[in-house]
Amino acid sequence: MKITRAFLAAVILTFVTTPAHAQDPAPASPQHSEATDIVVFLAGAAAGLAIHESGHVLFGLTFDANPRVSGIRYGPVPFFAIIHDPVPRRQEFIISSAGFWMQHGGSEWLLTARPGLKDEHAPFLKGLFAFNLAASAVYSTAAFGTFGPPQRDTRGMAATLGHDGIREPVVGFLVLGPAVLDGYRYLHPEASWAKWTSRSVKIGLVALTMAAGR
């Protein structure tokens, strides 16, 4: 957990600290202090979490799966998960994937509508975008090591693909790929190859729905 905390701290510092050439030369007002920016950044990250979880709720309701909040604990860290009633395997794949689909849609909107986001003073949007990258990285790490709460999204996705499921680390790579590419796009918005590769992988994740439950 120390590694996870250090990673999240690095993400916050990376996104909140704007490049020197992009900063306003005027002295920072109290409204634009670094402390305020961090609070707004964290509010954006919280919005990212809400958007991710809303995907699980939306499709859980679509399939009449009674989505609801359940407290979970992994080691000393308490958290929560959106759980639902048992559903067919293809529907399970969709519900488990929906959080990532929502993240991908949000990241595409940000990187397309605000290609210069890196150089903008937009802590809320940067917090939302940073959550999308961090969540994918954390889920992928759990998938590679096959550890974490049993309700984790990557486990649900892996268990429902094909006849007998696939290895969870494979899903980890599929989840991590768009995050790495979108991080590159944030730093290099002119990179057309990264944009279209990222979009292709995201579309492929949705298309995997057809392989679920077979």
User: What are the extents of the domains in the chain?
Assistant: 38-211
Residues 12-39, mean pLDDT to the nearest whole number: 57
The overall pTM is greater than 0.85: no
d(CA 179, CA 182): 5
pLDDT class of 6 with cuts at 50, 70, 90: very low
Q: For the residues 71-75, what does the mean pLDDT come to?
A: 68
pLDDT above 90 as % of the chain: 70
- Lowest model confidence (mean pLDDT) among 20-24, 174-178, 208-212: 20-24
Q: Which residue has the higher pLDDT, 197 or 23?
A: 197
